[in-house]
Amino acid sequence: MSGSIRVERNGAVGFLVFDHEARRNAISVDMWRAIPEAARELSDDDAVRVVVLRGAGEVAFVAGADISQFDETRTGAGALDYDVDNARAFAALSGIDKPVLAMIHGFCIGGGVAIALTADMRYAADDARLGIPAARLGLGYSSPGIEVLTQLVGFSRAKEIFFTAKRFDAQEALRMGLLNAVYPKAELEAEVMNVAAMIADNAPLTVRSVKLAVRELQKPRELRDHARVDEAIAACYASEDYREGVSAFLEKRPAQFKGR
């Protein structure tokens, strides 16, 4: 069995589920190839306002790539195909224009950390263990992946994570800035759903414009698309939601945003 990628929905929250429990949700080739379509499905669904990445079962978020396939997929001519599939998966997850939350429990190793880094925020259970063991496997790690980690935790911490190949517990990962919050495992899902509900209640166009602006700010100055950000901001002011938000505030009632 090579695992699967599932899409689930709960009201305005969409879930992208990594399901390969027999191998602690390690990502197989078939799973890498299925991720882009699942990401597009959730991104294109207007009823979904927040996306949550999660692992199936109780043991792991994602315990990395499926190493049992490396002899077939990461050697010789097949290595290039694997890298292409891998890059497409990460691009699809990073390209979701809605808020993305990673709900992490248990093992979050290697590719699991890289997947979590595509999320806007990361929330973990107190049993989470995070690490990147590339140096123990002799793997090369792409510059874009290192850059994302460095932006989040800084140069020194990123070097520590890669050089030592250590598994960090949830509290250590929180202190270094890799996580937004840590909760008892029994409370993790409820806490993440609370955050998702708060986001889903807000104006989608505003939230998306901020996500776009932050994404552009992470690029070198000369590559930032200021015009695109300005267009997204202008769309907020021209929207029905803006008028609804102002009216709701003056009338002291909850706003009912429709994303248009």
In-domain check, residue 47 = yes
Q: Does 223 score more than 80 pLDDT?
A: yes
pLDDT bucket at 68, cuts 50 / 70 / 90: low
In-domain check, residue 103 = yes
In-domain check, residue 255 = no
Residues in CB range of 163: below 8 A, 6 or more apart? 135
The count of domains in the chain is 2
Please give the Cα distance from 48 to 89 (Å, whole number).
Answer: 20
In-domain check, residue 256 = no
Last residue of a domain, one of 157, 178, 199: 199
Note the pTM of the prediction, 2 decimals: 0.92
- Indicate the SS3 state at residue 156: helix
In-domain check, residue 258 = no
Give the pairing of strands 121-125 and 181-183: parallel
- How many other CB atoms are there within 10 angstroms of residue 47's CB atom? 9
Q: Which one, of 86, 155, 166, 99, lies nearest residue 131 by Cα?
A: 166
The CATH number that applies at residue 71 is: 3.90.226.10
Q: Domain residues for 246? A: 203-250
Last residue of a domain, one of 183, 199, 215: 199
- pLDDT value of residue 235: 95
Please give the Cα distance from 8 to 15 (Å, whole number).
Answer: 5
Q: What is the pLDDT of residues 189-202, one digit of tens each?
A: 999 999 999 999 99
pLDDT, average across residues 230-245: 96
Strand order across the beta sheet in which 60-62 lies: 60-62, 107-109, 129-131, 168-169
Same domain, 92 and 209: no
